[in-house]
């Protein structure tokens, strides 16, 4: 079975802030990590391979330094890694990203495609389902458990707000996974050796036969108009006085607000 896992290298978002005066990003000392949800996708790929055999290929689209993320997945046990990199991809929104990744997957061939449910920098959760649409294959999002994998079908559990759905799908299929699915393994010593030596295959826009007008900023229907700091409430005030006075003041406010 050909298993392809899509990963993204992201800034560790807990550290990214915005300067409210200049409305620009402050990213001093922010580390790049593999999107945490994608680690669960890699683990799921490895577990499927252990069960039914096959190969796990990890693919990422990004700048040349995203190669470090790919080597990390090889140290976990992935067989191959592919870096989709080209100046033409710059400025891609989810639509253009999904288009490029779908072309790469078409080029590689896949029975099962795995993605994290979303990336922590954008939190859109759109690229996975959009890849499936471009490939004209089914997808199931928010997978919390894989019940059964066969050569032509898969049974999975999809997390919903009020529980979960058990879903059967034909293959090929794209799945997006949540953290509950598994615990990503630590790299083995052997894996680390393999990661050092591994040759990372690089693909350009021409290699995947992508249409130029569907790539990068040009191929992106959405645009970021501006970024800004989350605003604070304007009508805020501090309640002063002794503890008793504070409590009495706040209870009075509750009555005024008809909370009591």
Partner 1 sequence: MFIRVIKDKCTGCETCLSSCPYDAIVIKDGKAEITELCQLCRSCLTVCPEGAITEVEEESDKKEKGQGSGLWVFAEQREGVIAGVSFELLGAGRRLADILGTKVSAVLFGYSETGADELIKWGADRVYYCSEEIVKNFNDEPYAALLSDLIALHKPEIVLAGATPIGRSFIPRVAARLGTGLTADCTALDIDAETKNLLQVRPAFGGNIMATILCPHTRPQMATVRPRVMKRGEYDASRKGEIIKVGADDIRSRTRVIETVKEVSEVAVNLQEANIIVAGGRGVGGEKGFQMLYELAEALGGCVGASRAAVDEGWIPYRHQIGQTGKTVGPKLYIACGISGAVQHLVGMQSSDIIVAINKNPEAPIFSVANYGIVGDIFEIVPMLTKKIKEMRGV
Secondary structure (3-state) at 209: coil
Q: To the nearest whole angstrom, how small is the minimum distance from the Cβ of residue 144 to partner 1?
A: 10
Q: To the nearest whole angstrom, how small is the minimum distance from the Cβ of residue 113 to partner 1?
A: 14
Nearer to partner 1, 56 or 84 (CB): 84
Which of 135, 136, 137, 172 minimizes the C-alpha distance to 151? 172
- Contact yes or no for 144/160 (Cβ under 8 A): no
**How far apart (Å, rounded) are the C-alpha atoms in residues 30 and 26?**
9
Nearer to partner 1, 30 or 194 (CB): 30
Q: To the nearest whole angstrom, how small is the minimum distance from the Cβ of residue 3 to partner 1?
A: 19
Q: To the nearest whole angstrom, how small is the minimum distance from the Cβ of residue 7 to partner 1?
A: 17
**Long-range Cβ contacts of 9-12 (<8 Å, 24+ apart):** 9/33, 9/34, 9/35, 9/60, 9/62, 9/65, 9/66, 9/68, 9/69, 10/34, 10/35, 10/119, 10/120, 10/121, 11/121
Q: To the nearest whole angstrom, how small is the minimum distance from the Cβ of residue 202 to partner 1?
A: 14
Nearer to partner 1, 151 or 243 (CB): 243
Secondary structure (3-state) at 196: helix
Nearer to partner 1, 65 or 150 (CB): 65
Q: To the nearest whole angstrom, how small is the minimum distance from the Cβ of residue 189 to partner 1?
A: 31
Nearer to partner 1, 106 or 121 (CB): 121
Would you tell me how many other CB atoms lie within 10 Å of the CB of residue 205?
21
Identify each DSSP E strand in 122-221 by its residue range: 139-149, 153-160, 163-170, 173-177, 201-203
Q: To the nearest whole angstrom, how small is the minimum distance from the Cβ of residue 161 to partner 1?
A: 6
Nearer to partner 1, 65 or 188 (CB): 65
Which of 68, 67, 40, 74 minimizes the C-alpha distance to 190? 74
Nearer to partner 1, 48 or 140 (CB): 140
- Contact yes or no for 177/116 (Cβ under 8 A): yes
């Amino acid at each position: 079975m050909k298993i392809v896992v899509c990963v993204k290298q992201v800034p560790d978002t807990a550290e990214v802030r915005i300067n409210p005066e200049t409305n620009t990003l402050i990213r001093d000392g922010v580390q790049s990590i593999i999107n945490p949800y994608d680690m669960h996708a890699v683990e799921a790929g490895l577990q499927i391979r252990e069960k039914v055999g096959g190969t796990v290929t990890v693919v990422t689209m990004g700048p040349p330094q995203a190669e470090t993320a790919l080597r990390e997945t090889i140290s976990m046990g992935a067989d191959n890694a592919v870096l989709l990199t080209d100046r033409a991809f710059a400025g891609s929104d989810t639509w253009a990203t999904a288009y490029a990744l779908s072309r790469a997957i078409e080029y590689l061939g896949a029975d099962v495609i795995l993605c994290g449910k979303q990336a922590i920098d954008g939190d859109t959760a759109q690229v996975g389902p959009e890849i499936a649409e471009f490939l004209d294959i089914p997808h199931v999002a928010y997978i919390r458990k894989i019940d059964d994998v066969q050569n032509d079908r898969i049974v999975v559990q999809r997390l919903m707000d009020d529980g979960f759905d058990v879903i059967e799908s034909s293959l090929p299929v794209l799945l997006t996974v949540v953290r509950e699915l598994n615990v990503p393994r630590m790299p083995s010593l052997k894996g680390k050796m393999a990661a050092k030596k591994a040759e990372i295959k690089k693909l350009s826009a021409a290699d995947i036969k992508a249409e130029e007008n569907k790539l990068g900023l040009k191929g992106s229907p959405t645009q970021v108009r501006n970024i800004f700091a989350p605003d604070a409430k304007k009508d805020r005030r501090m309640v002063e006085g002794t503890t008793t006075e504070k409590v009495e003041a706040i209870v009075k406010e509750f009555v005024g607000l008809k909370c009591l």
